[in-house]
Chain A
């Protein structure tokens, strides 16, 4: 193991430390009755700068660096190891893994002590689990999934440099304070925040297969969030953000107009009517379309979901079959750093299992072609395609990176809108919907619940068949099931847009992007969004210069 590592031209003392502890642990564990077949150590060093302002003053200012340790240890064999899901009553015994904080001097004794403590804890837990698992396998019926638990690989080695964070923090403090004062000038903005977050994340990994990797990313987000309470009690929120890789690229020009536009959106949404349950033609604008594909397709094609006995396995048996119109392609490609000048949040060089990030073609000419794979093989897909991801403290599973939808039949937005109206008239409906903005969504993929999706719409527009002016509505979410929704996809736009966000699932929160043109559906469904029940504030918001008495809540 060490010989392999010494062949690498560069060196990283922290990785040397990890390799040394792995070797020491291996010598001890291999003498035990139950032995690990694979162990990986990862240290994630995260420097995070947060500057936030509200009500014309500095609200948050931190610049902290945190180092955390992840230990991935598998007892047994790659065919059946301690990570294999338990079934029945035994499944109630969860694992206790967590993110372990490491000290600021990674080369010191404290790091080695914590490494040993966590290795020991993970080993003892895995050794106990494999015993239960073998009995569990005997007692339970044969599993649908007959694939191995783990794909052994030859460890890869690469040391990438991650640029330092450079940020004029003082300038941003002044800028955000001024912007927050601007946002706060509206009596209807009841709560708000202007925030700049900049992150530099460096991951160092060593495993028992010889992997020696250093990689990471920088990222910055400038975000505004405004909140008010509508007269009907609805908590109305507006959020907008710029995501960039290099903090120096955070836009600084005309931010006043940007904030003003968000305040305007909030005011408009506050006085907009709530929508109603609806079934009919719907057009999703680009960002909403991206999230639609993320929820409806992306989560359902994560490799590990095809293995678990409690998962719905929506597309498991559809490889080679059409699931979308033949002019639509979908690929998840973490190697893309930007698209059309927009930085992509889901970009990474290496995944969290030591596999190089690579494109995974999911849909080709409308035909479903494969899955997002981590190192948990499927019977028909034995190899990872570099999508094993996690936030620290979790076990990596297959996750999305940059999910990109492309079309061979791009149409201008006006053409999509015209088709929407045609469909509305054909159905004899008074109006259809265009979903302009969303705040995210979620998908249920298990068997115990309906295999539905929910796209959290923020701003939807009624487009009237009789030519009335479009009407903004709030309070409705898109819902549906995947096959029906896909079968109703009738047209695609020529306006790919990027949704940058963070996706939460069983392996934690990971940065992702979803890119898609606008899409027209002949039929989608809206359901009512939950609504807060508190009355708006009984007294008007206090305003500077004693203007509070005049403002209405």
Chain B
């Protein structure tokens, strides 16, 4: 029983990271119709910013998260405005190629700056946790989950309550009509991608506290974000939150099966995605249009 509770807790805690990784990816996919293959690259950029600030300035890693968000927003805005906007009306394959290429560029720039060594962020409280009998709740994971939920709430607030958020909803619904009521498409697109990148940056900071990062460590996160968004359902932040937490739970239980282990993580993830696509194509929380 204690083992079961422990697995549920660890699953939900791990899900926090997936929520953070998924929300930005889902936003860009839902609004811009871009499956952003550079998402994992942007996540790792965030990881390196956290590592750099932690190592050089001894900042608490959680305090670096707002810095990640701002820096990645600027990077994302510039990428969309300067590069991706040029092919926004092109077929899906072009955006695949472009974002795949951007991912390679990001990885190689990171290799030039930081090298290929493993880097990890280990604050003094890492490895500690709350203990209830045999059940342990690690501080870092718990705070990460809190930060991820805060991130999702902030994104939902921006999308539903602010001027630019309403513009983003409008362009997602009908970009031509949005333009004709006075919405600047290029700016709104760039803000959308910037917000997606900012979420990736925050996710990267959380990941750097949990595992060692290298410039090439981002690729699994692109895949996981893809699965999480499909799992929850495209188009709403709350759906991605459910998708992320569900993914964390499935992974935790999947890895606890004797003879399984982390080797099968991807197989479990994609098996689950296929299962959802077959049985409930709109996602766990999605609405049919």
- Asked if A pairs with B, the answer is no
Residues on B facing A (Cβ under 8 Å): none
